[in-house]
Amino acid sequence: MTDTSPGSDPHARIAAAFGAHLPLAGVRLQGMAALISGAGHAGPHLGTGAATALLFAAQGASVALFDVDPERAENTARLIREFGGRCTSVAGDVRSGADCAEAVRKTTEAFGGLDVLMNNTAVALAGDINTVTDDIWDRTIDINLKGVMLLSRAALPHLAARKGAVVNVASIAAQQGFGTVAYAASKGGVIAMTRDMAYTAGSSGVRVNCIVPGHLVTPMGGAHDPVRRDIRRRATLLGVEGSAWDVAWAALFLAGPEARWITAACLNVDAGSPSQSSLNTLLAAQD
């Protein structure tokens, strides 16, 4: 008799361990190569980059894990190798044009080309318009916005060769106030850049789209704080928490052939939370 329990399938074991709501295994990206920035992880909750890397690899893609911390990237790589996925780790800083170019070079050298770029690296540093420091502003804009430009600029010629796709990650912080002015500005810039990149890259057959996540259970999203998690869950229209997997499944759709006629689009993945105007007030009261 065939053992079909989760323990018998490494895809199922990883999905269960990290709270995936759907099975990982499939062939939707078979034969494709992807470069994902911010793809490392270091704790019990996956970030959006690590979850997407796992899902892409489980769906047949070869995945380059670009992260400023080599150890975090290797953590994700070990999980991918557990189910026989193909990946490579690339250390570097998205603020460096040279590092971005090197990440693209190593990816194309390892996999023979590039089909998908996911710009995922970000920091969310505190500070409203009255309290933000110059250093916080500059660091946030450099990582969250300039980094998208640098990595995209390096990748686009290779994506054009394969009529590939770019998936950027923004935030609902760009659409409603939360008192994090640098983060909001950077993510608003990502949305604007997505549309302008799509305008330029479309003639080369490259699609450029953006995911706009809501408040997720991720390391950046306060996974350690049960009070905030409960408030965010109740503030959604569906009454359930979002996780990094929700972004990963959206990225899989936008990267794959099902989205062949979609570009310059921004897909909100937030369970309707922006329509709940009290959310940010409730969250701010906990700070």
Per-residue pLDDT tens digits for 55-91: 999 999 999 999 999 999 999 999 999 999 999 999 9
What pLDDT was estimated at residue 264? 98
Return d(Cα 245, Cα 26) in angstroms, integer.
Answer: 15
pLDDT at 238 over 80: yes
Categorize the per-residue pLDDT at 2 as very low, low, confident or very high, splitting at 50, 70 and 90: very low
Tokens of 96: 């460096």
Residue for token digits 């950046």? 220
Torsion of CA 243, 248, 254, 257, to 10 degrees: -140
The whole-chain average pLDDT of the chain stands at 90
| Section 107-120 average pLDDT | 98
CB atoms within 10 A of CB 125: 17
Catalytic residue from among 183, 213, 241, 255? 183
What pLDDT was estimated at residue 194? 98
- Single-letter amino acid, residue 49: G
Q: With contact defined as beta carbons under 8 Å apart, do 145 and 189 qualify?
A: yes
Q: With contact defined as beta carbons under 8 Å apart, do 275 and 256 qualify?
A: no
Which distant-in-sequence residues (6+ apart) come within 8 Å of 266 by Cβ? Answer: 170, 191, 194, 209, 210, 211, 212
Query: Buried b vs exposed e over 96-113: b needs ≥16 C-beta within 10 Å?
Result: eeebbbbbbebbbeebee
Q: With contact defined as beta carbons under 8 Å apart, do 41 and 47 qualify?
A: yes
What pLDDT was estimated at residue 88? 98
Categorize the per-residue pLDDT at 280 as very low, low, confident or very high, splitting at 50, 70 and 90: low
In three-state secondary structure terms, 211 is strand
CA angle 25, 31, 32 (to 5 degrees): 95
Sheet containing 86-91: order of strands: 86-91, 62-67, 33-37, 116-119, 165-169, 207-213, 266-269
What pLDDT was estimated at residue 166? 99
Q: With contact defined as beta carbons under 8 Å apart, do 247 and 271 qualify?
A: no
pLDDT in tens, 169-227: 999 999 988 899 999 999 999 999 999 999 999 999 999 999 999 988 877 656 567 77
| Section 6-22 average pLDDT | 80
Residues of the chain with pLDDT > 70, as a percent, come to 90
CA angle 211, 119, 228 (to 5 degrees): 55
What pLDDT was estimated at residue 230? 80
How much is the pTM?
0.90
In the chain, where are the structural domains located? 30-284
CB atoms within 10 A of CB 40: 27
What pLDDT was estimated at residue 1? 31
Catalytic residue at 199? Answer: no
What pLDDT was estimated at residue 64? 98
What pLDDT was estimated at residue 223? 56
pLDDT at 282 over 70: no
| Nearest alpha carbon to residue 259 among 213, 206, 212 | 206
pLDDT in tens, 138-149: 999 999 999 999
**For residue 142, with 0-12 CB atoms within 10 Å meaning exposed, 13-18 middle and 19 or more buried, which class applies?**
middle
| Section 156-180 average pLDDT | 95
What pLDDT was estimated at residue 210? 98
- Single-letter amino acid, residue 154: A
| Section 112-118 average pLDDT | 98
What pLDDT was estimated at residue 116? 98
The superfamily CATH assigns to domain 30-284 is NAD(P)-binding Rossmann-like Domain (3.40.50.720)
Alpha helices in 202-243 (DSSP H): 226-235
pLDDT at 251 over 90: yes
